Amino acid sequence: MRLLEQLMKNSNYWIRFELGLIQLEDKEYIHEMHHRATIILNSMFDKNDGILIFAHVSNPVDYKGIDIPNIKRFIKNKKLIYDLKCKTIPFEFDEEDTEMETKQYSLKVKKNDIRLGYLIQSIGYKEFRMKPRVNGTLYLLNSTKKMLFHMYDDRGCDVYGLEKGKLLPLYHKFRKWILDYNRIQIDRMFGDGLFSIYETPEDMKKRLELNRKKVEETEINLYEVNTCHITHKLEIPKEFAEECLSEMAQTGFEINIEQKFSDSIILKAMKTEALALVEYQTELMSLYSRKFKGEYVSWSAIRAF
């Protein structure tokens, strides 16, 4: 139990992966979510590792009902459920909120005891109100490797580790799946990618002001549904073009060459996302331009719906 708290609150190393892709729909969306979560989980857990399934259910402290998560459906050997343990802990989302509390259920298992596909599907359906779906929050703790898997819903999952070396293989192997919103922060954690590239305060101020003006020009309300096809253009010196293409291909953006000149190329980086998130995108593009001695030219947006 202490290890779970240590990983969630005091871990120096974590990775956030994107599972559901906004540009996909229906069955394709579900399939990609399930595919990514399954591969990440299988890379984290070996058959002989000690595993703890944790289920958290939160309610007001004066709640009189009993909400027991049906963990039994996630395991193959139903007799294991007799070892299910329960205790009350402070509210998992805000320990200072004394009006709420969390019931923590835990069960020791091995990887082959878990119906992984069913478990992933149940978490992925959580926000869709479809069956099967989980009641509360689920965590999978690898007590052998001291790593934690938390798929919060269909959109993504967090992986925590006490040791950098244990997470590095996941960071490198699934780098393209890292949530771009957190990519700079995660690169700096692992000392790779954009970890040593920074904007000057003046450049950041100029970029944010340009973003504000361009968003106003689109006349798109950021407080309503504002999903857009966002396209960024970068001009990169020819001598760094191949390296730049290779690194940017390891992001969630679609990367293409738009033009070739004698001494440079124009790259297009495209992503379908809320226009309200354009600032992190422009920061990424600005840093990639700076790393490869180029120039961030501009961005444009077209409504997706």
Q: Pick the last residue of a domain from 163, 190, 217.
A: 190
30 with 147, same domain: the answer is yes
Q: Pick the last residue of a domain from 190, 223, 257.
A: 190
29 with 107, same domain: the answer is yes
pLDDT of the residue at 34: 96
52 within a domain of the structure (yes/no): yes
pTM for this entry: 0.93
237 within a domain of the structure (yes/no): yes
85 with 169, same domain: the answer is yes
pLDDT of the residue at 8: 79
What is the four-CA torsion angle of 179, 45, 142, 187, rounded to 10 degrees? -30
Question: Are 267 and 260 within 8 A, CB to CB?
Answer: no
266 within a domain of the structure (yes/no): yes
Q: What are the DSSP calls for the chain, one per residue?
A: -HHHHHHHHH-SEEEEEE-S-TT--HHHHHHHHHHHHHHHHHHH--TTS-EEEEEEEEEETT--S-----GGGGBS-GGGGGG-EEEEEE-TT-TT-TTEEEEEEEEEE-GGGB-HHHHHHHHHTGGGT-SS--SSEEEEEETTTTEEEEEEETTEEEEEESSHHHHHHHHHHTGGGB-GGGHHHHHHHHT-TTTT----HHHHHHHHHHHHHHHHHHT--TTS--EEEEEEEEEEEHHHHHHHHHHHTTSSSEEEEEEE-SSEEEEEEEEEEEGGGHHHHHHHHHHHHHHTT-EEEEEEEEE--
Residue with tokens 């394709």: 28
206 within a domain of the structure (yes/no): yes
pLDDT of the residue at 184: 98
Measure the CA angle with vertex 177, ends 73 and 108; round to 5°.
30
245 with 157, same domain: the answer is no
Instruction: Assign residue 281 the CATH number of its domain.
Output: 3.30.70.970
Per residue in 66-104, pLDDT (tens digit) is 788 889 999 999 999 999 999 999 998 888 899 999 999
Question: Are 302 and 284 within 8 A, CB to CB?
Answer: no
Packing angle of the helix pair 26-44, 164-173 (nearest 10 deg): 150
For residue 227, what are the contacts with CB-CB under 8 A and spacing of at least 6?
22, 272, 273, 274, 275, 303, 304, 305
208 with 238, same domain: the answer is yes
230 within a domain of the structure (yes/no): yes
85 with 216, same domain: the answer is no
196 within a domain of the structure (yes/no): no
185 with 287, same domain: the answer is no
Count CA atoms closer than 13 A to 295's CA, side-chain side. Answer: 6
209 with 168, same domain: the answer is no
Render each residue's pLDDT in the chain as its tens digit; 305 residues.
Answer: 578 888 877 788 999 999 999 989 899 999 999 999 999 999 999 999 999 999 999 999 999 887 888 899 999 999 999 999 999 999 988 888 999 999 999 999 999 999 999 999 999 998 887 788 888 899 999 999 999 999 999 999 999 999 999 999 999 999 999 999 999 999 999 999 999 999 999 999 999 999 999 999 999 999 999 999 999 999 999 999 999 999 999 999 999 999 999 999 999 999 999 999 999 999 999 999 999 999 999 999 999 98
Domain that holds residue 220: 201-303
Q: How far apart are CA 84 and CA 74, in angstroms?
A: 13
Burial of 253 (0-12, 13-18, 19+ CB in 10 A): buried
Measure the CA angle with vertex 255, ends 249 and 260; round to 5°.
115
Q: Pick the last residue of a domain from 145, 167, 190.
A: 190
Number of domains the chain contains: 2
21 with 156, same domain: the answer is yes
11 with 119, same domain: the answer is yes
243 with 115, same domain: the answer is no
9 with 141, same domain: the answer is yes
195 within a domain of the structure (yes/no): no
Per residue in 205-224, pLDDT (tens digit) is 999 999 999 999 999 999 99
221 within a domain of the structure (yes/no): yes
